[in-house]
A and B are shown apart, each in its own frame.
Chain A
Amino acid sequence: MTGIRQVPVAEGLFTWPSEEPRLIGAQCAGCGMVGFPAGLACARCGSDQFTQKLLPDTGTLWTFTTQGFRPPSPPYDGTDTAESFRPYAVGYVELPGEVVVEARLTEPDPARLSIGQQMRLAIVPYSVTADGTEVVTFAFAPAADRGSAASVAREA
């Protein structure tokens, strides 16, 4: 890890800082269903009582698409411009037995993504604040891509 200061886009989404970050899910105290992130009420039984549950950091790609232009801003707050914007991919990753999570994917090329492929959680910078602090969010990288999450993100 370099000396660049990093902050998560929101608290309670993933364990950070961490050598092995995990998404933070919520298990319903009423019916046991696992959701992400911690919500206002269980989507199955309506209970508002939860216990924290760290989710698996690997899963399979259920579907994906790409974002070919800079999203409307706000709400998007990436520090890129329409000219410097780099297309990214978005997908749903099935974390076995738990949840299917929507996330950015580190691999922007659809030709290098396929439904069913193994994916691994990566914490990636997507924006930089005025003082140079990187804002990080969760994403998934093809599991075949070795190396640290941060290096995967910078290559992407």
Chain B
Amino acid sequence: MEAAIIGVGLHPFGRFAGKSAMDMAAEATRAALADAGVSWPQVQSGYIGSLEVYNPDAIVARLGLTGMPLRGVFNGCATAGTAVAMAARAIETGEHDLTIAIGMDKHPRGAFAADPSVLGLPAWYGQTGLFLTTHFFGMKINRYMHDHGITLETLAKVAAKNYRNASANEKAWRRTPMSVAEILGSPVLNYPLRQFMYCGPDEGAGAVVLCRADQAHKYTSRPVRVRASTLRSRRLGAFEVHSPWLPAAEYAPSPTVDASREAYEIAGIEPQDVAVAQLQDTDAGSEIIHMAENGLCKDGEQERMIADGETEIGGRLPVNTDGGLIGNGEPIGASGLRQLHELVLQLRGAAGARQVPGSPAVGYAQLYGAPGVAAVTILST
């Protein structure tokens, strides 16, 4: 049995002094339940994820102690992809009829800092200054620009687009438009990436209510079908974050490529059918690379596509219409639920000033993060 999304809720992303991640998640969950027209006791099971909150499942104390199974999940930046996939799988396998996926986080300011042992890495990797996620993004786009002729100005155009889209999104964090010149003029953090080409860690929460597709019309006139929800880990030979070494003679594509191909196959949908995409833009270079890794263009084609405005709202392939990570920041547990919130609004035709014209029918979401893991979700009307 296919799963359908009948409700979405999103707490704004940004900084909310004095407000806990769990309070934000409770608000997002109540919004999703209200959107679906269901009450918490009707939810039969759920999946919930967070990096910073030790026991996100403790949220039941704020929503109702119904005894329902609420399982904690974590896959780094792909955490929400797992929460949604598991909530969909519970319906697909017939275990439950109505489920929920919830995500929340409240990160301290600045670059993520942790002991390398939490990722199975040796101490010297952190001591000597190699254990920084952002190095990977700088190095991957540097090589990609070298191989495929992408220019620095194109990276700045991607960031400018995402700030512009965020300015039309009342729930976004970075709502001030920024020019290409301002972005290029910001300090280099990790060559060639400038400060304003990066997303930052922040705070927020999201929730999605799902039910059996054949019952969805009891709750909503505009259900959104979950056509595929996949997750893949890195293979030997893939160039991945936090890799002290790689084999010289073996090559494998990113787990994004693997998760994407599997998702298209399960969904029976082709890349050219995608009408709106939410891609992991940890930095502007990642959005460019992920366009190709998700089959949405060929390597190098992005230079022309972005110059022609094809990824803008109103373009042939709108990408990160709500501002993406650059415009919203990244509360890790919630980031993928923000993507699905935006896709559901777009497929319902309810995205307001950000609405993609022409009644988009297929939405695509991708997450990528440590330790080399990617999740893809494909939705359709």
Answer yes or no: do A and B interact: yes
B61 at the interface (CB under 8 A from A): no
Instruction: Contact check, A71 vs B129: say whether CB atoms are below 8 A apart.
Output: yes
| Nearest residue, chain B, Cβ from A45 | B236
A–B complex contacts, Cβ < 8 Å, 8 sampled:
A63-B140, A66-B190, A67-B190, A72-B110, A72-B112, A97-B248, A110-B192, A137-B128
Instruction: Contact check, B244 vs A36: say whether CB atoms are below 8 A apart.
Output: yes
B16 at the interface (CB under 8 A from A): no
Within the assembled complex, what's the spacing in Å between the Cα atoms of A74 and B131?
11
Query: Which A residues lie within 8 Å of B243 (CB)?
Result: 102
Query: Which B residues lie within 8 Å of A94 (CB)?
Result: 248
Instruction: Contact check, A65 vs B111: say whether CB atoms are below 8 A apart.
Output: no
Instruction: Contact check, A67 vs B124: say whether CB atoms are below 8 A apart.
Output: no
Q: A76-B127, A78-B129, A99-B247 are in contact. Are A62 and B190 (CB under 8 A)?
A: no
Additional A-B contact list (8), CB under 8 Å, known A75-B123, A126-B128 = A65-B193, A66-B191, A71-B131, A75-B114, A90-B130, A90-B139, A97-B248, A102-B130
Instruction: Contact check, B236 vs A43: say whether CB atoms are below 8 A apart.
Output: yes
B115 at the interface (CB under 8 A from A): yes
Query: Which A residues lie within 8 Å of B246 (CB)?
Result: 92, 99-100
| Nearest residue, chain A, Cβ from B137 | A65
Instruction: Contact check, A71 vs B191: say whether CB atoms are below 8 A apart.
Output: no
Q: Return A79 CB to nearest CB of chain B, in Å.
A: 11
B113 at the interface (CB under 8 A from A): yes
A101 at the interface (CB under 8 A from B): yes
Give the total of B residues in contact with A, Cβ under 8 Å.
40
Q: A68-B187, A75-B131, A115-B146 are in contact. Are A63 and B248 (CB under 8 A)?
A: no
Give chain A's interface residues, CB within 8 Å of chain B. 9-10, 13, 33-37, 43-44, 62-69, 71-72, 74-78, 88-92, 94-104, 110, 115, 126-127, 135, 137
B132 at the interface (CB under 8 A from A): yes
Query: Which A residues lie within 8 Å of B138 (CB)?
Result: 65-66
Instruction: Contact check, A67 vs B142: say whether CB atoms are below 8 A apart.
Output: no
Instruction: Contact check, A97 vs B249: say whether CB atoms are below 8 A apart.
Output: yes
Q: Return A108 CB to nearest CB of chain B, in Å.
A: 10
Instruction: Contact check, B123 vs A10: say whether CB atoms are below 8 A apart.
Output: yes
B89 at the interface (CB under 8 A from A): no
B126 at the interface (CB under 8 A from A): yes
B189 at the interface (CB under 8 A from A): yes
Q: A65-B138, A91-B139 are in contact. Are A75 and B244 (CB under 8 A)?
A: no
B62 at the interface (CB under 8 A from A): no
Instruction: Contact check, B122 vs A74: say whether CB atoms are below 8 A apart.
Output: no
Query: Which B residues lie within 8 Å of A72 (CB)?
Result: 110-113
Within the assembled complex, what's the spacing in Å between the Cα atoms of A137 and B146?
29
Which among A68, A75, A90, A99 is the interface contact of B126 at CB below 8 angstroms?
Answer: A75
Q: Return B45 CB to nearest CB of chain A, in Å.
A: 34
Within the assembled complex, what's the spacing in Å between the Cα atoms of A97 and B143?
20
Which among B128, B188, B189, B192 is the interface contact of A104 at CB below 8 angstroms?
Answer: B128
Within the assembled complex, what's the spacing in Å between the Cα atoms of A41 and B146?
33
Within the assembled complex, what's the spacing in Å between the Cα atoms of A34 and B245?
10
Instruction: Contact check, A75 vs B116: say whether CB atoms are below 8 A apart.
Output: yes
Query: Which A residues lie within 8 Å of B114 (CB)?
Result: 75
Name which of A65, A67, A137 has the most chain B CB atoms within 10 A of its CB. A65
Query: Which B residues lie within 8 Å of A64 (CB)?
Result: 139, 142, 191
Instruction: Contact check, B127 vs A77: say whether CB atoms are below 8 A apart.
Output: yes
Instruction: Contact check, B129 vs A65: say whether CB atoms are below 8 A apart.
Output: no
Q: Return B260 CB to nearest CB of chain A, in Å.
A: 23
